[in-house]
Structure 1
Amino acid sequence: MPVALSTSKTAILIALTTLTQPLAQTEEYVAELAFLARTWGLEIVKTFIQRLDHPHSATFVGKGKIEEIADCIKTENIGYAIFDDELSPPQVRNLEKLLSCQILDRSLLILNIFSMRAQTKQAKTQVELAKYQYVLPRLTRMWTHLSSQKGGSAGMRGPGEKELETDKRVIQNKITILRKKLAAIEKQCATRRKARINLVRISLVGYTNVGKSTLMKLLSKTNILADNKLFATVDATVRKVFLNNNAVLLTDTVGFIRKLPHTLIECFKSTLTEIKEADVLLHIIDASHPSFQEHIKIVDQTLTEIGAENVPRILVFNKIDAIEPTIKTVETSQEGITTKIQEVDTLKEVILKKGHYSNAIDEHNTVFISAKQQLHIDLLKEIIIKEIEPIQARRYIKTGY
């Protein structure tokens, strides 16, 4: 995207605690925002958190905090100010004037990371379209490199077009071209999906950085990228896998995240069709994360948004090797003699107490694994086979495949 970026790779983070978002939750969100910023290659210098009932309509934070932030930017020569929530177009314009640095919100930062990670033609087109749709209502001086149509020479009618109007028309034309280009690519992808309709399709879904790619690499026995980074996988990766002589198609999809930009979901709907049309979903969860319950909720919401809420799923609690066992002391009495013994909670008990997510565990097949340490992978395969065999049997009778 032709946006004028600062040469400094330093950044500050800005967030709010509000009536609906306590400080502990804000601090966790800011930690994730810092991970996003570092993923994009920025160095975090300082974090600003302010307590407000709701974001300031003009500047997101209050007047006094803006002055404090502006002083820090000037003193430390900061290149980027990153806000944890999506900013409105007026807020972006006001903040650019007051802070004199590159303004990013969480949505634009995620879009930039997607742009960096995209490898295939489809993913690159999807991200480019999403960025243009995001930028269009927020046009300020970031597009001043484009030539404006001035009023013309003496004797010609009208004052001419303002530069901003010209920029908007240029972007709208680009959006139209990209939509046509993406439609053609999506048509090709739909044709490929039809060609493999007889095979059972399994899609890996989950919050970003929960170990989906590591599990994909383990099950498919192929060398795919599996890294401890946010959005290490943007392009859908499909591999043919044999489970107990059952041939299935396993798809690794883009990870979800809180406050995922709506434009990105819209543009990636064709890629997310792999999830919607899957026969079974493996919902990978980082069992060691303190907020895994919220991660499950965000994934559930996103699946509902793309129309995949009714696809059968298996809950796969990953990274169990990183969970500390809970040891409790229990008193027992027998024949008047009281003794104390230590009991270790089972992994399921620890997770249930930690996340209070018993409804989901009761509703879906559940397995606890470590993809990194290859723990309980055979049990996961058994559960998958049990889930897909009836599907394969129905499909065989119907098609004779």
Structure 2
Amino acid sequence: MPLLSVDELSITFTGRGRRDVRAVDGVSFDVDQGQVVGLVGESGCGKSVTSLALMGLLPKKGVKLGGRAEYDGKDLLTLSPNAMRDMRGKHLAMIFQDPLSSLNPVIPVGLQVTEILERHRGMKGAAARKEAADLLDRVGIPDPTRRLKEYPHQLSGGMRQRALIAMAVACAPRMLIADEPTTALDVTIQAQILELLKELVDQQGTALLMITHDLGVVAGLCDQVNVLYAGKAVESAGRRELFAQPTHPYAHGLLGSIPRLDAPRGEPLRPIRGSINDRIDWADGCAFAPRCDHYTLECLSGTPQLTEPVGAGHGVRCVNPVLTGVEVKTLGVPAEQAVDAAVATAPDEPAAEADEPAESAESAESVEDSAPAEPAEPKIPAQAEPEADGKAEPADSDAAPEAKPEAEKKKDAS
């Protein structure tokens, strides 16, 4: 039995006089003990809202929750506020995206850490302060005793994020939710934070739900990956399976838009065109269809169901998935989309350069037919000398060799 089992989770925001906005629609996934599961997608796909719902941090008014989210047999969506308060920190903890706004700016870091120890572990006074210093030291903060007395603004971004991690692991919870914990950090600190999270998983068997838009983080940390788009899980697979064969057009586009060090020089990036649809004016059919190059009429008529066209454990919510070695069925796109696709896939300047020699060859042949055959210079292409200088010549520069003999004759006559 998984430690956390999310089944058909739906989150809808309601408002007076406005249509409902379904931020999350039927998301399901499991997290086992000692496993790292990733939620991946662009901004607005429902990643962070999912984590807030699991932690019980969404407001009660204006929000409708559906489905189930069972942690160790308890449905987190139906727990009372007091029961959820006892659950947070002790059994289930979260690392937020922005540590500067997550930490209280007017309270020293040490008091914020000891508050958790007093609430859930009953520690007080010197024992709580010593344990807080040990926690800061464990997450790699130098001189932890002095840092306990400092305020969040006195710490660097990496230290603030480490302090949040120390608060999250203070009670050794069985599960952590990390909401893009490395977004505002440089690559060096990011690698250190990821290594710290990996140690927690390996040494303590902590289950980790990693929420990120960085596929590099997914490749280095996650065991299972769920790709979200417009509130739906469009693809769910193991890390190796997803990177080896992305099957949903959106996941395929995400991986195709990443710059690669081994790509040929001059190869253009292939970004996903367009932007996510308005969640209020929601149309029937697949939400990704307006941006997809492989949609069919079936994509526009109904909501795709989760299938496994590649193999067991690799779920895809698409009626026309991208399968390796199989010709993909496509539907004629509107004119404006066809132009966008042509511009996105057309080669850049090399094709234009390849056409220039053909034009210059035709102009050179026409000049040779009309010019006298005495001088040998016209047989040399007009571009030979400008290419050495790197300068462009006018189009009628080929006639210059014809005028040269006449000028010499006039000079001899004078």
Q: Could you state the TM-score of these two structures normalised by the residue count of structure 1?
A: 0.30
Higher helix share: 1
Q: Which has the larger radius of gyration?
A: 2
Q: Which has the higher contact order (CA 8 A, sep 6+)?
A: 2
